[in-house]
Structure 1
């Protein structure tokens, strides 16, 4: 991919972390992800940071950046496991990356949790800012949640520098499907079950109540 990255230091009023670890994360993600996922991950950071700014949350921009940039790494061939949820694969990739830089365990755990829970609605917003804001960024970019809480200027500025492809909605669903279709059991209890229900004609949802009723317990 690109050997050198050239992005404005500030987009929509949000300063991109410029530390050694942030620059290394940017390059790694740029090398491993295609344009759609890379631009999506960058947008997630800006939406998350703008949300934090709007809510007056105190957060570590570097941790938020790493969480946003790695949140979909589990969809790539380089980091996909055979049996774990793709969210956990991405979280593990971020953990290994941060560990290699000697980042404190508490910070690593925060980033790991932010990535692992980013498709589990209803929980992250009650957790530490990094966790809450990664999910907020994902929900804005994929689902359009809180779309009108951002100004048109903010939306336009972010998307000028990190464009949404003309078919982004369909294409991102395809990316989710490609990342889960070989391990459908990992979609049980999370939103990616909807992806496979749409994209895989042979997919059959696991049913929570059927599992209870079919368990080996006599009653």
Structure 2
């Protein structure tokens, strides 16, 4: 596997290599390539902004961020983001990583679908979300050069139907626990994919229907 893409070098530590292997063995090609691209977009964003980020922590957050969508690491009742964060935390603990670093990676993964918050946090957290938003939503697309986009995608291709396919992956990862989409963007996924069965939670209805008398 190429070690340097678009001027960004992939961390080559024992924990980074083990993470790559675990994710490669667990995720399909679409999610694996997406996770790798998230690292490069996040790192390139960090370089462009002049941020002092830890490439290894960013790599771990990027690689594990969608593990909660897989059958092997999906819980019955937690948000998939939390499943991925918990998987990363357990993995990092097995390598005796500092608790503060584990917390940053956990938070980066747990918040990567919560817009408006991660960008104000430490670099690992902010750049993980930036990478996800670039790859899935195209946010800041034009802040990257054509050469950077082409180089990353040449080594980790977007499938011809990536937009539809990533939505389908989201749906399949959360369809058995629709209640976990309350208050987050994944409710839009089930509203699109399961319009006849999915009932979106309503914040105001919960307030008005609570046990409080007034």
| TM-score normalised to structure 1 length | 0.97
Rounded Cα–Cα distance in structure 1 between residues aligned with 2:186 and 2:64: 18
For structure 2, the residue ranges without an aligned partner over 5 or more in a row are: none
- 3-state SS, counterpart of residue 165 of structure 1: coil
- Correspondence 1:46-195 to 2 at 5 A: 46-195=40-189
Rounded Cα–Cα distance in structure 1 between residues aligned with 2:100 and 2:3: 28
Shift of 1:8: 1.3
Shift of 1:9: 1.3
For structure 1, the residue ranges without an aligned partner over 5 or more in a row are: 1-6
Aligned to 1:22: 16
Q: Is 1:31 matched up with 2:25?
A: yes
* Aligned residue pairs, count: 213
Shift of 1:11: 0.0
Instruction: Give CA deviations for 1:83-115 in whole Å, capped at 9, x if unaligned.
Output: 000000000000000000000000000000000
Instruction: Give CA deviations for 1:20-45 in whole Å, capped at 9, x if unaligned.
Output: 00000000000000000000000000
Q: Is 1:203 matched up with 2:198?
A: yes
For the aligned residue pairs, the C-alpha RMSD in angstroms reads 0.4
Which of 7, 10, 24 in structure 1 is aligned with 2:4? 10
Rounded Cα–Cα distance in structure 2 between residues aligned with 1:147 and 1:9: 23
Moved over 3 A (4+): none
Shift of 1:145: 0.1
Rounded Cα–Cα distance in structure 1 between residues aligned with 2:32 and 2:153: 13
- 3-state SS, counterpart of residue 84 of structure 1: coil
Instruction: Give CA deviations for 1:119-141 in whole Å, capped at 9, x if unaligned.
Output: 00000000000000000000000
